[in-house]
Structure 1
Amino acid sequence: MKYIVYPLLALLFFANPLAAQKPLPKTPLQAHEYWASAFNANDLEWICSLYTDTAMSRNPDNSDSTGIETICESLRRFMNAAQSIELETLYEMRNGDIALLRSSYTYHILSEDGESLSHSGSGIEIVQRQSDGTWLFMIDHPRGGE
């Protein structure tokens, strides 16, 4: 009995660090899927892991965020305001280690008076295959398809 109890206790008290890791996209199309999943899970760390260190993103005020830290800060503000998002890939064009994606999305926010509001748009994103085979965002323009 003690041979069974100790391994079970070890599993309960010593979390497997690999179990906590979130998946990274193995295809360009998975980049959108994982982005929406991370957003809807309110998982800033996961969503930030989907960008290259030198990525660039267009902000609502038409300024650009360049580099992972500034992109994560913009995403944090957006995630604090929005409740959920539905995201669909409209098309993918791939050339070697680069892929162009076009998205259609609707996100939902609560107004200051508690009213549920929705906004729809169309984005254009560029993802790049990394040396480990994952595909990460290098350019993200949420309104680029409009």
Structure 2
Amino acid sequence: MFKKVILAVCLAASLINIADAKGLSGIADKTSALNRYSSHYRILSPRSPQEAAKAFEKYFNAGDLEGMLSLHDKNIAFIPSPGTQLNQPDQIRQALKQFLSLKLPIDMKVRHIYQADNIALIIFDWSIQGVDPAGKQVNLKGTGADIVRKQMDGSWLYLFDNPFGTTSSNTQ
């Protein structure tokens, strides 16, 4: 724990130096950058399947695309809609940008987590509701079935991100 605190302080100091180099001179600019970093650091490495789900929700609600992508295993399969599987990083980035473009929070409720060794299945209910930037009413919801895999460093990353679970492709 002590080593993590020292590492966080050193990295925060480095971030402030980078902020200086980029011309972020005001204390508000530096504080904002440090707060963004601190929030990212706390959930950088989910240590359980439950933490992975919480991290995804937190990054989504912060509009943090890079944070969301950091939760992906290198072999991720993203299923943005029933019957559609994406494996290429650029495709996944674009699909996630579409969800984030709604500028609405996601509410996720984990129903079950089933774990076998270093693989876990997360069953969860989710919803995105509100009015998007274009003024359209949004009411998206589903029951997801995601799979996360424990990494060598003990963190858990998404191997399958499947927000619509077993929904049939002809019902969407």
TM-score by length of 2: 0.69
Contact 1:103 1:145 in 2 (8 A): no
Matched, 1:14 2:17: yes
CA, structure 1 residues 76+58, in 2 after alignment: closer, same or farther (shift >3 Å)? same
Flag the structure with higher strand content.
Answer: 1
Matched, 1:88 2:109: yes
Contact 1:82 1:108 in 2 (8 A): no
Unaligned runs of 5+ in 2: 1-12, 20-32, 168-172
CA, structure 1 residues 61+115, in 2 after alignment: closer, same or farther (shift >3 Å)? same
Contact 1:124 1:142 in 2 (8 A): yes
Give runs of aligned pairs for residues 42-61 of structure 1, distance below 5 A. Answer: 42-60=63-81
Report the equivalent of 2:127: 106
- SS of aligned partner of 1:139: strand
Matched, 1:137 2:140: no
Give me the whole-angstrom Cα distance separating, in 2, the residues matched to 1:13 and 1:94: 40
Give 1:18 deviation, angstroms: 9.2
Contact 2:102 2:133 in 1 (8 A): no
Report the equivalent of 1:31: 52
Give 1:29 deviation, angstroms: 0.6
Give 1:81 deviation, angstroms: 2.2
Aligned residues: 136
TM-score by length of 1: 0.81
Contact 1:52 1:68 in 2 (8 A): no
* Displaced runs of 4 or more, over 3 A: 15-19
Kindly report the root-mean-square deviation, in angstroms, between the aligned alpha carbons of the 2 structures.
2.6
Give me the whole-angstrom Cα distance separating, in 1, the residues matched to 2:77 and 2:121: 14
Unaligned runs of 5+ in 1: 1-10
Flag the structure with higher helix content.
Answer: 2
Report the equivalent of 1:125: 146
Name the % identity. 24
Q: Deviations over 1:22-49 (max 9, x none)?
A: 3221101111100000000000000100
Q: Deviations over 1:55-96 (max 9, x none)?
A: 001122621111433222211111112411100110001111
Contact 2:111 2:124 in 1 (8 A): yes
CA, structure 1 residues 29+115, in 2 after alignment: closer, same or farther (shift >3 Å)? same
CA, structure 1 residues 133+67, in 2 after alignment: closer, same or farther (shift >3 Å)? farther
